[in-house]
Structure 1
């Protein structure tokens, strides 16, 4: 198979690093621009220093002879924003800087631009059993989601106008080895056997294991049907919060300690404590329908939820605990 040249942004991030490893394993030529030199990159991987991601970044040299751009770098969603005008900052990085890269990619003759977006473009939650689809009206409600949607629209318009194939992927919560933030905290609670008041929650949430997201990215690189398309992605196995905790505990060879508690009171207490966003994730539903990717690309998630959770908890375990995972 012809070796492609792939420019990958955000290689130091959670998603970017996994895509980088998969590209190397596939034998692609990988160019990884970054703010400063990265000494952990494999020998032979090009690592041009392009500075901060901005509307003024010069991509002309790194884009030379590149076939595909995979754009992971972004100003990411933050739980506690302190900037006076966060939308302006999100737009500067996620819209203006993204379009600078895309426009220079067109000038360089790049064939395909894959953009890692977010389910936040669709919104923050769904009614139980009514998943988001690619045709759902976007309902981005925060600066991060708004900026991602604006970038999507601008990229698709550029692709139509200039002939570059644009592919948008919107993941929900991504987990896998190295996951941080709330998901990592949940694993710690489970590992320590802390009793959690979540047994009565009856929600459904779509998640995506990092390996499944990477699989879809590689599939989009190889499938002509991915051009000018938006795809939602998940493990295709929605879980309630109690079910997620139970499966995580099973992966650790432990028992989840879940106790009944009225969800309405849990939500009220969380809001009084200023933790509404966390309670929404624990108690609310957010489901996505991945049938478009299955139908148009012939793609299906290669890893089950159980496999993904086992890899995730194994990576975060102590050496002593890891010996138990193979027994």
Structure 2
């Protein structure tokens, strides 16, 4: 089976390409920075990973998100519809529909993204869903939660450095539940979609089976790193007061940082497991995180 992958040089793209290649898939990486890709869009499936990632420092121009995440996706999808390619897999994000989750995030939630990143992803989703899909083609919109794995340089790496440098984690008084997505589980679900032609088109959340608190995450990092867990339970009112000061004088410990580390964000993966026909994914959330943390230590 031949696959055309955009964004193949990114973290997910590199891991997914290597994984699928090991199962004898033929991979053709394309760049969407010029129009040459239109001449080589042929194969069995397109996996669209390329996009502008969320800028946590909020320095990016909003229009750039819509140019890259919305307009280019529209263009690629239109070419797909006119091609002989059968499957289109678009990697959107849970942030396309919800920045905050009070309960559990399911695919049928009413979208309410608050950032240009999420809004640009949602606009691309809406365009894809507005089109009539020709007979014989399948279209998948994938909404992954926070992806991690060897080679990842995101928030997990920052938390790992806190533990590594023996800096006490000060937010142990906060209890939360978050969903994560290990790269190995992501790879498995994509391969199942590609190989099982009975899986219908649709919108699917991608997440590990279990949810973990940030406190559990710090414990996992400490255990894998062979470091003592130095977490401390500073009273919440003290932390919130410090955060307000951080907002005023631009300190790393501010309200946004506190929210990201302590918020709940639970994502259901039941829909994708039901269509695959499994009860559990191959790797637990803990196993995936341990593998990621070990990769930081090896560096």
Of 267, 279, 285 in structure 2, the residue corresponding to residue 305 of structure 1 is 285
The match for 1:102 is 77
CA contact (8 A) 1:175 1:210 kept: yes
Post-superposition shift, 1:161?
A: 5.8
2-structure distance, mates of 1:12, 1:215: 19
2-structure distance, mates of 1:159, 1:219: 24
Of 276, 280, 296 in structure 1, the residue corresponding to residue 275 of structure 2 is 296
Please give the residue correspondences for 1:54-93 in structure 2 after superposition, counting only pairs within 5 Å. Answer: 57-64=35-42, 66-83=43-60, 85-86=61-62, 88-93=63-68
Please give the secondary structure, in 1, of the residue aligned with 2:114.
coil
Distance 1:94 1:239, change over 3 A: same
The match for 1:118 is 93
Matched, 1:172 2:152: no
CA contact (8 A) 2:41 2:83 kept: yes
Gap runs ≥5 in structure 1: 35-49, 320-327
User: What per-residue deviation string (whole Å, max 9, x for no partner) do you get for residues 238-265 of structure 1?
Assistant: 1111111101211222222100112344
Post-superposition shift, 1:90?
A: 1.2
Post-superposition shift, 1:202?
A: 1.0
2-structure distance, mates of 1:214, 1:312: 15
CA contact (8 A) 1:167 1:226 kept: no
User: What per-residue deviation string (whole Å, max 9, x for no partner) do you get for residues 210-258 of structure 1?
Assistant: 1111111111112334432111121111111111110121122222210
1-structure distance, mates of 2:198, 2:110: 22
CA contact (8 A) 1:204 1:284 kept: yes
CA contact (8 A) 2:94 2:145 kept: yes
TM-score normalized with structure 2 length: 0.91
The match for 2:206 is 233
Cα root mean square deviation, aligned: 1.9
User: What per-residue deviation string (whole Å, max 9, x for no partner) do you get for residues 143-179 of structure 1?
Assistant: 1101111111211233536763111111111111111
Structure having the larger proportion of residues in strand: 2
Post-superposition shift, 1:92?
A: 1.1
CA contact (8 A) 2:211 2:285 kept: no
The match for 1:39 is none
Distance 1:100 1:307, change over 3 A: same
The match for 2:4 is 7
CA contact (8 A) 1:59 1:104 kept: no
2-structure distance, mates of 1:17, 1:199: 35
Which is worse superposed, 260-269 or 289-298? 260-269
User: What per-residue deviation string (whole Å, max 9, x for no partner) do you get for residues 167-199 of structure 1?
Assistant: 111111111111113211101111222111121
Gap runs ≥5 in structure 2: 248-253
Of 22, 27, 39 in structure 2, the residue corresponding to residue 25 of structure 1 is 22
Distance 1:213 1:161, change over 3 A: same
The match for 2:255 is 276
Aligned length: 292
Distance 1:302 1:73, change over 3 A: same
User: What per-residue deviation string (whole Å, max 9, x for no partner) do you get for residues 106-133 of structure 1?
Assistant: 2221101001111102212222xx2110
CA contact (8 A) 1:209 1:235 kept: yes
Please give the secondary structure, in 2, of the residue aligned with 1:224.
coil
CA contact (8 A) 1:8 1:71 kept: yes
